[in-house]
Structure 1
Amino acid sequence: MSKIFLTDTTLRDGSHTVSHKWNTDDVRKIVTALDAAGIDLIEVGHGDGLTGSTINYGFADYDDFEIVKAAASAIKNSKLTVLLIPGIGTVEDLKKAQECGAKAVRVATHVTEADVSEQHIKAAKKMGMFTVGFLMMGHMASVEKIVEEAKKMESYGADVVYCTDSAGAMLPVNVKEKISALVKNLSIPVGHHSHNNLGLAIGNSLAAIEAGATYIDGSLSGLGAGAGNTATDVLVAVMNKMNIAHNADLFKTMDASTNALLPVLEAKGVKANTNLDTMILGYAGCYSSFLLHARRAAIRFNVDVREILIECGRRKAVGGQEDWIIEIASDIAKLKK
């Protein structure tokens, strides 16, 4: 299976969740954590793309160019990415975003309207940007129509084309069918962006990977419009379990959620629907009732609860062996001295 490249859209799609109220400090903090975690592309800006801050879509506290500059000041390795929807953003806006530090753009159109992306994709390529064609509302078109529209974006020079489930309406079988057709008919990589409105974002992302997609979107703690996106942190854990190659570090991705994103959300009165400790139970194959005991042991021995749970799984501890957790925590603490 090919290596997967991750685009995290916490600071773009996740902008909907905070009514587009990220500030520049929020951006620097979250971008720094995502970059350290090895995320390939980090997308920032208004939820509706460059210059989306209008009465139609909702006003942001900072314009996109201030946000891009803040992100660029914190990023070291990841590609700084923006979204552009023709009719909202313009080529001139894209040039300004590039001047502020953007290295990649995703040009987004309705799934049947790839024609309107030609000017923007060609301009982005001429500017030397990594350019993605982003076909939105993928559930609304037939396989044949999606292939037809994707081939247009490919002909304009796109480096990657996405089939995007903007409504969170697709089932894994739909994703597999459409992504497979794109992989078969295009000579460039294919990507997928899921929403969790049916609780299928992770499943759909995996279906896309199995069908040959190599670019997959996520957001920390699944933050995004509607019920949110594929959770980047959970996706990294699942890909590790499936031995799928990627560039992200699991613990650092989790820390980006816990230590960077969640405090920012709490300060804005927003609560993310996440519990990454319980995700580690599944990742480690650890008995679910061990969590409380592991948390207590982590505090007692000043070690990471995730390391305790992973070691419990490695040792194949089962219910009734709760006392073993203390020994495991003690062993981890000794190794750190």
Structure 2
Amino acid sequence: MKSRIHFIDTTMRDGSHAMSHSFTKEQVSLIAQGLDDAGADIIEVSHGDGIAGSSINYGFSKTRDIELIEAASKVVKRAKLGALLIPGIGTISDLQEAYDHGVRAVRIATHVTESDVSLQHIKAAKDRGMFTAGFLMMVHMAEPEKILEQARIFEDAGVDYVNLADSAGHLLPDDVRRRVSLLSEKLSIPVGFHAHNNLGLAVANSLAAAEEGASYIDGTLRGLGAGAGNCQIEVLSAVLERMECATGIDLDKILKVAEEAVEPIMPRAQVIDTASLMLGYAGVYSSFLLHARRAAEKFDLNIKDILVELGRRGMVGGQEDMIVDVAYQLSRSQHKAD
């Protein structure tokens, strides 16, 4: 394991999914200040689907990203203020606006086989002196050798590290080890990992990634995030402290901000219910959960059937609009069967 694990907190980005994108400036200010004081290295703030994600397709934000970023920038003194950008959703102009309001770290996210669509955005970020990562989503859908090929595109583009995201919470610890160990061995830049807890393995998978050489690990307070949530940052901090691994996190302070700033505003506890479990089991993008839940209610379907069908079709982030179509087709099929 690396001697120092860098924590990237995504409570106010991935957690935005679980909050139905309803964070307020006051909430962001309180959480960001607590995280900064607790020792998080990067604090990520944006819509769940990245800068400019607020839309009919992904869900509208209660407060504009840039206002939330500005609120965080006023209280973050030590950590880097970060954001996620998905090419095709966020633009270079959006990146510039985020930079103008204090964002100094950006992760450019693509599907695991499409890192080449990020090159212009990476260059724009590096030209502005930003700490920049290539963020590969849905890594369960590619074998380690393919992921290495895509990661090298990021490496050649000049990113500071490559992040692997188990966006569906589908991977088992050995799956994580095979992917992270290969990249750690073959790349000249650091590797990071982002877990979802749909199979209850977010902490175990993050620990496996760290043991195989990942030095950037994502987490959220109380596990707040899409699906069953993310790796719970205060839990992983405690585990790593027990292992005498340096993280820079003050455990007492991270527990305090989780308990006092995040837990009171959560719409519901992050639990592994049947729908969340099926996301991980079927390999479905975690942010599809709320969309699938609404479609199930609209067409009087079992959400499990929708999620299994989405997994069977290999649907990926960006295809949220297709969830209603799938639900409609399933309802037609069931009515014919009846």
TM-score by length of 1: 0.79
1:250-306 alpha-carbon deviations (Å, 9 max, x no partner): 0100101001111233xxx434559xxxxxxxxxxxxxxxxxxxxxxxxxxxxxxxx
Which residue number in structure 1 is paired with residue 63 of structure 2? 62
Which residue number in structure 2 is paired with residue 328 of structure 1? none
1:11-34 alpha-carbon deviations (Å, 9 max, x no partner): 000000110000100100100111
Q: For 2:174, give the aligned amino acid.
A: V
1:131-162 alpha-carbon deviations (Å, 9 max, x no partner): 01000000000111000000000111100101
Distance 2:47 2:245 in 1: 31
Which residue number in structure 2 is paired with residue 75 of structure 1? 76
Q: 1:1-337 to 2 correspondence within 5 Å?
A: 1-2=1-2, 3-265=4-266, 269-272=267-270
Which residue number in structure 2 is paired with residue 302 of structure 1? none
SS at match of 2:196: coil
SS at match of 1:134: strand
Distance 1:176 1:263 in 2: 35
- Contact 1:262/1:272 (8 A) holds in 2: no
Distance 2:113 2:8 in 1: 24
Report the Cα offset of residue 74 of structure 1.
Answer: 1.1
Q: For 2:214, give the aligned amino acid.
A: A
Report the Cα offset of residue 163 of structure 1.
Answer: 1.2
- Contact 1:18/1:270 (8 A) holds in 2: no
- Contact 2:229/2:270 (8 A) holds in 1: no
Q: For 1:33, give the aligned amino acid.
A: G
Name structure 1 gaps, 5 residues minimum. 275-337
Distance 1:156 1:229 in 2: 28
Q: For 1:224, give the aligned amino acid.
A: G
Distance 2:64 2:270 in 1: 25
Name structure 2 gaps, 5 residues minimum. 273-338
Greater C-alpha Rg: 1
- Contact 2:228/2:271 (8 A) holds in 1: no
1:64-120 alpha-carbon deviations (Å, 9 max, x no partner): 111110010111111100000000000110010000010100000000000001011
Distance 2:270 2:197 in 1: 14
Distance 2:233 2:171 in 1: 19
1:188-209 alpha-carbon deviations (Å, 9 max, x no partner): 0000000000000000001000
Distance 2:193 2:268 in 1: 27
Distance 2:22 2:270 in 1: 16
Distance 2:174 2:265 in 1: 37
The percentage of aligned residue pairs carrying the same residue is 54
- Contact 1:221/1:273 (8 A) holds in 2: no
Distance 2:164 2:269 in 1: 29
- Contact 1:110/1:137 (8 A) holds in 2: yes
Report the Cα offset of residue 62 of structure 1.
Answer: 1.0
Distance 1:222 1:209 in 2: 18
The worse-fitting range, judged by mean Cα deviation, of 256-265 and 14-23 is 256-265
SS at match of 2:74: helix
1:287-337 alpha-carbon deviations (Å, 9 max, x no partner): xxxxxxxxxxxxxxxxxxxxxxxxxxxxxxxxxxxxxxxxxxxxxxxxxxx
1:29-56 alpha-carbon deviations (Å, 9 max, x no partner): 1001111100111001100000000000
SS at match of 1:216: strand
TM-score by length of 2: 0.79
Distance 1:11 1:123 in 2: 24
CA RMSD in angstroms comes to 1.1
Distance 1:29 1:271 in 2: 20
SS at match of 1:74: coil
Q: For 1:253, give the aligned amino acid.
A: I
Q: For 2:40, give the aligned amino acid.
A: I
Q: For 1:232, give the aligned amino acid.
A: I
- Contact 2:38/2:250 (8 A) holds in 1: yes
SS at match of 2:34: helix
Distance 2:120 2:199 in 1: 35
Distance 1:273 1:181 in 2: 32
1:206-245 alpha-carbon deviations (Å, 9 max, x no partner): 1000100000000001110000000000010000011111
Distance 1:203 1:4 in 2: 15
Distance 2:226 2:121 in 1: 25
SS at match of 2:134: strand
